[in-house]
A and B are shown apart, each in its own frame.
Chain A
Amino acid sequence: MKIMVNGKEEFVKEGVTLDEVVNLKSYNPAHILVVYNSEMIRRESLAGVVMKDNDRIEFLKFVGGG
């Protein structure tokens, strides 16, 4: 099925969870923020979110800025 990751289309298997997507990307959950369909998901809740077709995920982080 198709999901949007940081604004780009990606294809994942049915039933995949959000923490599996994080692992797939090799991101360290301690260093990123995960926004699922406009909602911030806490690290401990990632495994409980099952992806659906057309879901939107944003992987974000705080960086230096003025």
Chain B
Amino acid sequence: MKDALKIGGEEINSRLFLGTGKFSCNRLIPEVVEAAGANVVTIALRRVDPAYEEENIAAYVPGNCILMPNTSGARDAGEAVRIARLARAAGCGDWVKIEIITDNRYLLPDNYETVKATEILASEGFVVLPYMSPDLMVAKRLAEAGAAAVMPLGAPIGSNRGLRTREMIRILIEEITLPIIVDAGLGRPSEAAEAMEMGAAAVLVNTAIATAGDPVAMARAFGLAVEAGRLAYLAGPGDTQEFARASSPLTGFLRG
């Protein structure tokens, strides 16, 4: 069964998007990408810190992946737009994850500035995937602004707390025709599977894999969970019932 996700004119074969932050060493990244089966991989742009001689992380991402630079560090739409333009000029392609944050405790995104940045970047031909706090009206504004998908958070970034915003995400999936990609907070494969069973188009996972005891094994576990959840969604789960309903026939009992 062909079930490719289409975003920005691209057919994406894997519904697990992967972040590259927090890995203990860059050399793990190609192996993790392969184990996850990921097609879309996020990276960040930063000023060079003279104290650290680091390699370019993009060199560790397999060539068949779509690089999705994020705008982390941006505090308003203007800064996000600048980062996106620089990343594109550096050869990253047209994809961008908008991430605009001024809240340092929970790292919750600024939905208002995110809509503004989406509008500007979409008009410049970017494939814009905005990270947002799940809110129906904002998701509608993002769709109108030209977003290619909407990426609501499941829980605060890096918290591994799971699908805390489940009800709001369910509403987005129901009401928004764009792909809904659950980004941030998923801590375990079962939570990714749940998001996919609900009808999320994809999930983006970073911390849960990068900080696992065995990141490569966890990447594979997330990949399998995302695939299982998607398959379950397509299969159509049966109804839930308040009381028991026997699975075996209620006739022909061997009694007496």
How many whole Å from A59's CB to the nearest CB in chain B?
4
Apart from A27-B48, A40-B89, A62-B69, 14 more pairs, CB < 8 Å: A6-B48, A32-B48, A58-B86, A62-B46, A62-B56, A63-B44, A63-B45, A64-B26, A64-B43, A65-B20, A65-B44, A66-B19, A66-B21, A66-B42
Which residue of A6, A30, A61, A62 has the most chain B CB atoms within 10 A of its CB atom?
A: A62
A3 within 8 A of B: no
The 10 A-B pairs with the shortest beta carbon distances in the complex, nearest first, are A65-B44, A66-B19, A66-B206, A40-B89, A64-B20, A59-B48, A64-B21, A62-B58, A66-B21, A6-B47
B50 within 8 A of A: yes
B171 within 8 A of A: no
User: In the complex, what residues of B have CB within 8 A of residue A66's CB?
Assistant: 19-22, 42, 70, 72, 157-158, 184, 204, 206-207
- Return the chain A residue nearest B206 by Cβ: A66
Q: A63–B21 Cα gap in the complex (Å)?
A: 8
Number of interface residues of B (CB under 8 A): 36
- Interchain CB contact under 8 A, A62 and B48: no
Q: A31–B55 Cα gap in the complex (Å)?
A: 6
User: In the complex, what residues of A have CB within 8 A of residue B56's CB?
Assistant: 30-32, 61-62
B23 within 8 A of A: yes
B interface residue numbers (CB < 8 A to A):
19-23, 26, 29, 42-48, 50, 53-58, 69-70, 72, 82, 86-87, 89-90, 92, 157-158, 184, 204, 206-207
A interface residue numbers (CB < 8 A to B):
6-7, 25-28, 30-33, 35, 38-40, 58-66
